[in-house]
Structure 1
């Protein structure tokens, strides 16, 4: 007797249809005038605007100022990510259900709040308390990223194989020692991969946070654009691109090293 086929799941087709309806409804409600992008007037205005960025400013004092701002942006992203890793790991322990269902639900709500508020909004709020400069930007990156990494770390801990830690606990090992020797080594490569990926995102976010006064390249860019100093702004944009490319290359190399 041939076995009956498994029941067919309609959840995936229904989800795809709903997404298609959402996309069509978005185009219908936004009333996008795509043809305006391809008119001769639009092309001429765009070329004239881009022409104002050439040639980039290459004076030695300005390049040194841009380098210092780039290092400030890099420091913001690195320190913000480090603080987020520490906070995310601390919050991931109760969020993974290790301290009971009530603690899991409460901490998951906190993580949802942290990551639902964008970095720019965090920076605008923290500028009131911390003042202008990179300190507020670093805290904004840390707050948002802690919510993201805390959720990812918690999911990794929940999906870890519980048998090794249970075996250590049965043989008399303390709970904290069993966690560090059995569960954490299982999830550490995944956590490091998540951390490096978020660092890539934070270097881009740090470059933008300066627009609201959080220091770094973003603050330089806002300043020169507000004065219509397009050539200086072009140099800042190029520095942003080079910094992002450098961090992407470093992160990619580290992730490759972790997966070997």
Structure 2
């Protein structure tokens, strides 16, 4: 064999010193960007670490350590927590349905698939998820009025853009073998998806859905700030009046709700992985 041909066939890996230098230059560039970011911000470190700031923060935290535990108020918080949970669950369900409906035209299922609507659908998904939930809620509050209905729709629209993109990627990355075998037998695309593609990607779709449900719990609490109901609305109201005891109770309810959903999501994921 010609030595030059052998050298072309079996190329030596790059020198370790060169690779390290590239990594060092990359890290140096990142460090310069971080330093430039700090330099452009008006960070008042002296005021932040001052004794006066520490006293104010300590007084604020001390007020938060005494939550309101009256029966009437705790009952209101529990009802608001159930409302927040319902908003997140229903919003996630709407997002799953809409996201899956948009994921199908947004995915190229096989090499010969023309995917005529792929670009348009992905552009729509980008628009849905790039618009924050607060903006959707503000728009829908004009049409639906104050209350959890607008917040639920806002969660559904934003999350459908996120799940639709994730679902489309999962469908495109599914193993093509089972689908190809069914197409060779003349099976229609709908049945190919139901019997070949969906069983492969279903655990992944469930994992994405549960993760977004966890996020929607937090988002539903934030949406209440603009009048979309739930714990967030109570939080904005009592913080605005500087009622720290009531604020502390609402925050504890949020923590408990997120922990409950996280535990439930972990249990479902563990059951699906068996």
What TM bracket, shorter-length normalisation?
over 0.9
Aligned length: 259
Quick check: 1:53 aligned with 2:53? no
CA drift at 1:18: 5.1
Q: Is 2:12 the partner of 1:5?
A: yes
Classify the secondary structure of the residue corresponding to 1:4.
Answer: coil
Aligned to 1:194: 208
Question: Which of 209, 222, 225 is residue 208 of structure 1 equivalent to?
Answer: 222
Partner of 1:219: 233
Tell me how far apart the structure 1 counterparts of residues 260 and 51 of structure 2 sit (CA, whole Å).
Answer: 37
Distance in 2, Cα, partners of 1:92 & 1:174: 18
Counterpart CA distance in 2 for 1:91 and 1:53 is 45
Q: Does 1:251 align with 2:265?
A: yes
Matches within 5 A, 1:20-31: 20-31=31-42
Moved more, 224-233 or 197-206: 224-233
Alignment partner of 1:42 is 2:56: no
Q: Partner of 2:163 in structure 1?
A: 149
Larger displacement relative to structure 2 (189-198 or 43-52): 43-52
Q: Deviation of residue 29 (structure 1)?
A: 1.1
Question: Distance in 1 between the 2:123 and 2:27 partners?
Answer: 28
* Of 243, 251, 254, the match for 1:229: 243
Cα deviation, 1:116-135, whole Å, max 9, x if unaligned, reads 11111111111111110000
Quick check: 1:72–1:134 contact (8 Å CA) kept in 2?
A: yes
After TM superposition, the score normalised by the length of structure 1 is 0.93
Change (3 A) 1:97 1:21: farther
Are the equivalent residues in 1 in contact too, given 2:107–2:115 (CA < 8 A)? no
Alpha-carbon distance in structure 1 between the residues aligned to 2:229 and 2:64: 22
User: In the alignment, what sits opposite 2:3?
Assistant: none
Structure 2 residue corresponding to 1:103, chosen from 72, 97, 117: 117
Report the Cα distance in structure 2 between the residues aligned to 1:150 and 1:28, rounded to whole angstroms: 39
The alpha-carbon distance between structure 1 residues 247 and 128, as it changes in their structure 2 partners (threshold 3 A), is: same
Shift of 1:161: 1.2
Matched residue SS, 2:117: helix
**Structure with max Cα Rg:** 2
Unaligned runs of 5+ in 1: none
Give the alignment's Cα RMSD to 1 decimal: 2.0
Residue range with higher mean Cα deviation, 69-78 or 29-38: 29-38
Q: CA deviation at 1:50?
A: 1.9
The two structures have a TM-score, normalised by structure 2, of 0.88
Structure 1 distance, partners of 2:250, 2:124, is: 36
1:94 maps to 2:94: no
Cα distance in 2 between the residues matched to 1:73 and 1:18: 44
Residue number among 119, 125, 128 corresponding to 2:133 in the alignment: 119
